[in-house]
Amino acid sequence: MLENDRDRETTVRDDSAPTFRDYWPDGALAPQSRQAIARARRTRWTLVGATVLLSVALFAGALWTRGSTAATTNAAQWDLQLASGGAQPVTALVFGQETGIHLVRLPAAGGAAELRRSIPVRLGQGDVYMVSLGRDRLEISAASPRGTVPMRFAADGRFVKLFHTSEATGVRTGWW
């Protein structure tokens, strides 16, 4: 019999019938103390917590964007108009330093202009990224704010980047 039964997770059986433990590939399993089990649980939860924390940090780092390093003076708000490029509505992720993070449902292409989603952004404060989270592409259009150099642009793609530097303001499609 064991000296200290309270330190054991399992009890010793008196009969000699084989159990699942006896057929384990590495031999019979030895009973573990409660302290060893508690230590294993703490280690497991520490690893799970560290993995979750690392995943959140990587996700946030992937979404965090740095503004252009060139000195910019265009701090006026651009009004982006977004819609799906296909026959079905699509969900899009729009993010940037000044824009924040937006998860928006965009209407199907060919709809009325008032159905398009509008998101105000300040291109002078940093780039703006848009990603289609569905099968269809994104259709983006914008016009420069009042009081700035007049310009308009439109883009169609699954990945769209709006940028402003001291040399240029524009749009890129494809993987950035």
| Average pLDDT value over all residues in the chain | 76
Residue finishing a domain among 15, 35, 63: 63
CA distances to 2, 24, 109, 146, 164 from 129, rounded to whole Å, are 66, 54, 20, 23, 12
- 44 and 84 housed in the same domain: no
Domain with 85 in it = 78-173
Model-level pTM?
A: 0.55
- 95 and 168 housed in the same domain: yes
Q: What is the pLDDT of residue 69?
A: 36
- 55 and 99 housed in the same domain: no
- 159 and 136 housed in the same domain: yes
Q: What is the pLDDT of residue 99?
A: 81
CA neighbor of 73 nearest in space, from 152, 153, 171, 169: 169
Q: What is the pLDDT of residue 72?
A: 38
- 42 and 98 housed in the same domain: no
128-132 vs 159-164, strand pairing mode: antiparallel
Assess if residue 71 is contained within a domain: no
- 83 and 144 housed in the same domain: yes
